[in-house]
Amino acid sequence: MPSTATGIYHTSYGSELRLRHTHAEKIRLGILVVALAVLPFTLDNYWLSIVNSIGIAAIGAVGLNILVGFTGQISMGQGGFLAVGAFTSALLSSRAGLPVPLSIAAAVMLTASVGVVVGLPALRLRGLYLAIATLASQQIIEFVIRRWRWLTGGQGFLDVPRLRLVGLEIPRAHFELTWYAIILALATLAVLGARNVFRTALGRSFMAVRDHEIAAATMGVHVTRAKLTAFALSSGYVGLAGALTAHYTETVTWERFTIDISVQYLAMIIVGGLGSVAGSVYGAAFLMLLPPVLAELATAVRDKAPFLSEQLPAVQQAAFGLVIILFLLFEPRGLDRSWRRAREYFACWPFRY
């Protein structure tokens, strides 16, 4: 399809529904694939582990964005859902002896069902009230995990055995690299899955509910079904992210699933762009990179400003807060919008519009 400064012209419905419309997009996709293939060989283990956490976070962020960005249901319960996914998969694989792929699948299913239960109040509550209801679910799930001693065998954390691939344990030397491949594959599937959902009637009904619930209902959208499916789909994604965290980090503790994590994921989709699948990935990358990059900077200027490295946790937290505020004030549609704007600038160059 020809792409011009004034838009893309379609001559059939099929072409409009396509995921990628122009040659430029296909070329960019090619570059991205090559970059992702080369990336792990250019990084050391420390940065590769950060890339891996970005991949897991991206899956969770896409899930949260389905709920918040596409369906308009604010959720502060992300941490709780992650915990359900992580604990389910960890328990099923280590204690019940289920193969890891099966236990991850079970974790996804269970988290999706918990999501539906938590989503039930959404049928009566909206906006602020729903945010607070999901906050309650977060606190309750966290409490259950902390208090239920059987869950962790009384030691407060769960050890997850090293992942076995075709019967063999992943060797230490290739640990990050193998996980990079696994996470990249799953994250790609997750992103493509989400992109495709929003081409279907179901995905469109999510957006209709977000834009105006009553208007959507009068047009024949089944609001109840749309909301509950959105909760199920979204928490399924989050459950996958949780399960991956469990097997990747090999320990599960409740500390990793507090309200701060819920907030961090919300920040990811705000920074990346609400209602944008690609934005969720940008946001996850941005917020997961922020603390290590700040730490690097603090080390680099240690001699000139020792204050920065001594107060690093506070500085990181302040930066986190400022990033959220500044994005909301100056780029409320997030990095996705910045990227589009940059693209348009070059498409129209040398004109400003």
Task: Give the Cα separation of 48 and 40 in Å (integer).
Answer: 6
- Pick from 32, 33, 35, 140 the residue near another protein by CB under 8 A: 140
Residue 316 three-state SS: helix
Q: Does 301 bind another protein (CB under 8 A)?
A: no
Task: Estimate to the nearest angstrom the gap between the alpha carbon of 239 and the chain centroid.
Answer: 11
Smaller CB distance to another protein: residue 168 or 329? 329
What is each CA distance from 141 to 77, 146, 148, 154, in whole angstroms? 9, 9, 10, 17
Omega before residue 350 within 30° of 0, cis = yes
Other beta carbons within 10 Å of 100: 19
Residue 45, burial from CB neighbour count under 10 angstroms (0-12, 13-18, 19+): exposed
Site string for another protein, 68-87 (x = CB under 8 A): x-----x-------------
Query: What residues from 102 to 121 belong to the interface with another protein (CB under 8 A)?
Result: 121
Query: What residues from 144 to 183 belong to the interface with another protein (CB under 8 A)?
Result: 146-147
- Pick from 139, 178, 188, 224 the residue near another protein by CB under 8 A: 139
What does the DSSP 8-state code read for residue 66? I
Query: What residues from 206 to 235 belong to the interface with another protein (CB under 8 A)?
Result: 212-215, 218
| Residues whose CB is less than 8 angstroms from the CB of residue 26 and which lie 6 or more positions away in sequence, other chains included | 20
Question: Among all chains, which residue has been given the structure tokens 């208007």?
Answer: 215
Applying CB under 8 A, what is the total number of residues that bind another protein? Answer: 45
Smaller CB distance to another protein: residue 187 or 268? 268
Q: Does 131 bind another protein (CB under 8 A)?
A: yes
Q: Which residues bind another protein (CB under 8 A)?
A: 68, 74, 121, 124-125, 127-129, 131-133, 135-137, 139-140, 143, 146-147, 212-215, 218, 259, 263, 266-267, 270, 274, 311, 313-315, 317-318, 320-325, 328-329, 332
